[in-house]
Each structure stands twice: as C-alpha cells, then as structure tokens.
Structure 1
Amino acid sequence: MKKSVVSKEYTNLQKEIVKLQEQWKQSLNPDRIKPNLDKAALNAGVPVAALTVIDFEITLFIQWIDEINKLIAKNNPELEGKLTKVSELLNEETAIRWIDEAFALNHIYFNRFAQENEIEEWIPQFLAETALRPYLQLTAEKVQVEIHQAIPGSGCPVCGEPVRLAQLEGEGKKVIHCPRCLAHWAEKRIACSHCGNDDHKTIQNITIEEDPTSQIQVCEKCHGYVKVIDTRQYISKPSSAILDLNTIHLDFIAQENGYKAVVDYNDSIR
C-alpha cells in the first residue's frame, strides 16, 4: 500500500504554509491574547479559545491571507485569478466575519460564500483557517501547562478541533496532538477519545501493512477512530499539522471501514 495519498508538491506547499504560520505567530504581541482558563468550563468540554479574549489585528489578518494567496498562486498559477478575486472581496467587515466563522468551524457559511462568489468551495475556509491558526496556537502555548486531559467527545480542549491524531512517545505513552492549535495531552493507551470507552474488548487496532509506525485505534461502541503514530521511530519528527496530512490515507481506511473522527457522544452512551 502507498503510505501517502498526498502529492509531494502539496506536502511541500503545506510545509511552506506552516513556516509562514510560525513566523506570523512569532510576530504577534502575546498580550493581545488573554485566555480565561475556567476549570468548570473545561470540565464541561468548553474549549479554552471560546472564552479567550483575542484582540485581532484585522489588517494583519487580511495581509496574511494575501501572503497565502501569493504562495498558492506561485505553486498553482491556474488559481491566481480566483485568489485575486478573493482578495478583492476581503474587506474589513468580511474579514471579521471570516474570523468568527472559522473560529466556529462553520463549513456551511464558507460553502455558501464560495457558491455566491463562484469560487472553489475549499478556498474561503482554507484561507480563513490558515490565517486564524497562529492566534489559536499562541493561545495553546499560553495554557499548555494546564492542559492535562480532554473531555471525551468535546474535541481539543483548547480549540475544539475533533480528535484524530495521537503519537506514541517516551515509553509508549499515548499523547493526543491537535494539528490545528498544536495543543497536546496524554490519554490512556486503551481508551476512546470520542466516547471515553476503555474496555479492551471493544477497542481495537487496525494495523497498516508495510507501515509499522502507524495504526488506527477504533472503538466498536461509538465507531470513532484515532490515528496512532509511533513517532519514536521517525528520524525527523514533523509538526502535528504535517503528520496529520501525511497520514490522511489512514483517515480514508478508517472511514471506508465505517469509523469516523466526529461522533455523536450522546449516541455512544444511550
């Protein structure tokens, strides 16, 4: 089996975007982000970012999107016209709306925006999400020392991203990594991130032929899954975002077998 279904060109583009995001994050004034680490809210599954006060620089957000557009157009010249159109549409009011909707992972809004403006469906949300992540990542850095666990079914305790990626570290400890905000937290080796099930009889591992570093942990109770990668065997450990991208073939395998990364937690406990 081919280990990755992602082209080398796209992977290289994503690596360049990750570098840009790190530069953007480093340029931010940390004082513009004021997390409210409410333990009761955390225990209820409310992500930290939802209660964080972030003083967004709208002109900077628009500038970042222009930078992404130029990078994408450089790698995909056929998209230049559509990306230029996006830049023309992105005024301050629209940028504020994009931030709000990207924060909420509102796919419906971005799909409608794309349809109304006759551009590819993936473009608006991809751009908004890419420019939002440095703020989320800085938020995660500020609160990481307080992030020790996640509430099953609630996603990342910092940004709310659905759980789908874990790494084996140290002596084989299972650590969940969020590819969106880069927060991380330990989890029981035999446990479902989506429903909390820890019955070894209903937690199984799908192994990947010719890939000893990867497996898919699946739950027969809620039909959720998490990719588990033994990065201890990697010569060079990639960022969580790139690792998630490079293992997208595992998502396809899990989903083809009836498992999903976003599950209805209530269904799993009925």
Structure 2
Amino acid sequence: MKKSVVSKEYTNLQKEIIKLQEQWKQSLTPEIVKPSLDKAAIEAGVPAAALTAIDFDIPLFLQWIDEINDLISKQNPEQGPRVKKLGELLDSETAIRWIDEAFSLNQFYFVSFAQENEIEEWIPQFFAETALRPYLQLVAEVLKDEITQAIPGLGCPVCGEPVRLAQLEGEGKKVVNCPRCLAHWSEKRVCCSHCGNDDHKTIQNITIEGDPTSQIQVCEKCHGYVKVIDTRQFISKPSSAILDLNTIHLDFVAQENGYTVSARESESN
C-alpha cells in the first residue's frame, strides 16, 4: 500500500488511542446495551444505535477524557496546555451533552463550544468522539448478527457514519467497514454504497500508480466513492480505523476528481 500522507506521529497517536478504546470497550458489559430495533425504522435508515438504549457511565466517560488528555500531552507536549483546559470545562452535565452531540455527529455544536471557551476547534469533538466510540463499537458487536446489510446512501446501519471504506476478503468478496463503530457488512462487488447503482457501465475503479492493493470505486450516477482495499495481500491486517487513516490519500484523490461520500443524483438524470 502506498505510504500514507498522514504523519508518523499522528498515526502512532491514533494507534495508541485505538488501544485505549479497545481496553475501554473490554471494561464495558453487553448488558448496558439494550436494543429496541424497529423494522420500519431500520428500513427507513435510522441507525441501530439510535434505536438502542445505552447505559452510559458518566464518571467513566470523564475518566476516559482525562486519559486521552494525558496521552496527547505525553505524545505531544506542545499540545498539553491546549488540551488540559478541558479538565476545567467538563462536568457531568456537559459530558451528557457531549455524548448526545457526538452521537448525532453535530459538528456545529462542538465548533460553538470551542469558540465560546476559546480553545482550538478540533479539540472538543475529537475528545467526545474518541470517548464515545467504545460504546458504539459495543453496540455494533452486540448487533453483529442482526445488522448484516446497509441501505445505500444512509451510511453505516449501526452508527450512521458516511460509508467510505471497504475491503476485499476471501475469494474477492467486498465487505464494507465502518471505521467509527467497526461494524461491517457484505455488498455486491459492483455496487455503489451511496445510491445502490449496480450498472457496471457507470461504476468505475480509479487505480493508484504504485499501489496495487488499493482502488477507489466511483459512481458516475451519484458521484459517490468508496475506498476498496485488498487486505488479502497484507502481512498483518490493520483495524478499520487505522486502514481508513492510512488511506486518506485516496480520499484526496477521489475528492479532487469530484467524488464525495455523500451521494447526489447526476444532473443529467
């Protein structure tokens, strides 16, 4: 796979965060996840996590925020003073709000929070999202046998994250992966994840010179794209989150060519 455009330092930080998230998830019990799946809602594209009652441990969530703080301060001392301010701003009430807003991917709330509290814009959502993901990953794990497919254009069927990553497995089966909650589901090899188009004439693959394991599947109908990685050729298979990070150069290529992870109908249709 082509060398990532992401810095080694940031990749290493993400790897450490993913280790923390796995430890955090292991400390949770499946009993805190209480699904109440409604077939009509699922078919309408409501993410399964939104139909699931989750017993959040707020003190634990705040503890995780502190652990992220410590990790970032250790890995990048220059960021230490910038992220430490969060400890003064967060209480139980704010943590509950953070969980709600991170759950719904409300970027505007976190930007406003950062501006109001004079901290860098990336900090609040990054911390909230990082501490939320173990819960989402537990939901995906609990529902893995019930959520086996997605509705094109509506994102991950568990958490709603826009679809952008797939892997080739076994005999070439295409498996879509969510780097947010780690859910995965099979999809037809020639099929747009964003609009369901399966016409081979309007589904193309962009290949990357010097990168035989990666391609970008693009749809001329809705101008959506998905990164498709042949991980069968990898010596060791990275997590979906790391794979997504390491292939960000493919996102740049796709977007520079006019493709997005938000489907839209072609103007010619």
Normalising by structure 2, what TM-score?
Answer: 0.97
SS in 2 for 1:146: coil
- What one-letter code is carried by the residue in structure 2 that aligns with 1:209? E
Residue correspondence of structure 1 range 176-255 to structure 2 within 5 A? 176-255=176-255
Unaligned runs of 5+ in 2: none
Residues 40-96 of structure 1, C-alpha deviations (whole Å, 9 max, x = no match): 221111110011001101110010000001101111111111211111101111101
Contact 1:21/1:134 (CA < 8 Å) preserved in 2?
yes
SS in 2 for 1:176: strand
Once the two structures are TM-superposed, the CA of residue 154 in structure 1 deviates from its matched residue by 0.5
Once the two structures are TM-superposed, the CA of residue 268 in structure 1 deviates from its matched residue by 8.3
- How many Å separate the matches in 2 of 1:75 and 1:269? 50
- Structure 2 CA distance for partners of 1:163 and 1:81, relative to 1, 3 Å: same
Once the two structures are TM-superposed, the CA of residue 3 in structure 1 deviates from its matched residue by 2.7
Residues 5-35 of structure 1, C-alpha deviations (whole Å, 9 max, x = no match): 0111111111110010000000012211111
- Structure 2 CA distance for partners of 1:46 and 1:9, relative to 1, 3 Å: same
Is the aligned partner of 1:137 residue 2:140?
no
- How many Å separate the matches in 2 of 1:269 and 1:42? 31
Map of 2:55 onto structure 1:
55
- How many Å separate the matches in 2 of 1:33 and 1:87? 28
Once the two structures are TM-superposed, the CA of residue 38 in structure 1 deviates from its matched residue by 2.2
SS in 1 for 2:123: helix
- How many Å separate the matches in 2 of 1:175 and 1:95? 34
SS in 2 for 1:94: helix
Count of aligned pairs between the two proteins = 269
What is the Cα-based RMSD across aligned positions, in Å? 1.5
SS in 2 for 1:236: coil
SS in 1 for 2:197: coil
Residue correspondence of structure 1 range 67-146 to structure 2 within 5 A? 67-146=67-146
Is the aligned partner of 1:157 residue 2:157?
yes
- How many Å separate the matches in 2 of 1:198 and 1:37? 29
- How many Å separate the matches in 1 of 2:10 and 2:219? 31
SS in 2 for 1:4: coil
- How many Å separate the matches in 1 of 2:101 and 2:144? 24
- How many Å separate the matches in 2 of 1:43 and 1:268? 27
Residues 103-156 of structure 1, C-alpha deviations (whole Å, 9 max, x = no match): 000011111111111111111000000000000000000011112210011100
- How many Å separate the matches in 1 of 2:2 and 2:36? 44
- How many Å separate the matches in 2 of 1:43 and 1:186? 17
- What one-letter code is carried by the residue in structure 1 that aligns with 2:33? I
- What one-letter code is carried by the residue in structure 1 that aligns with 2:260? K
SS in 2 for 1:144: coil
- How many Å separate the matches in 2 of 1:122 and 1:193? 28
- How many Å separate the matches in 2 of 1:87 and 1:268? 49
- How many Å separate the matches in 2 of 1:267 and 1:113? 37
- How many Å separate the matches in 2 of 1:267 and 1:54? 39
- How many Å separate the matches in 2 of 1:224 and 1:2? 22
Map of 2:167 onto structure 1:
167
Q: What percentage of aligned pairs have identical amino acids? A: 79
- How many Å separate the matches in 1 of 2:268 and 2:152? 11
SS in 2 for 1:145: coil
- How many Å separate the matches in 2 of 1:197 and 1:268? 15
Contact 1:37/1:143 (CA < 8 Å) preserved in 2?
no
Map of 1:260 onto structure 2:
260
- What one-letter code is carried by the residue in structure 2 that aligns with 1:95? A
- How many Å separate the matches in 1 of 2:266 and 2:37? 29
Once the two structures are TM-superposed, the CA of residue 97 in structure 1 deviates from its matched residue by 0.5
SS in 1 for 2:143: helix
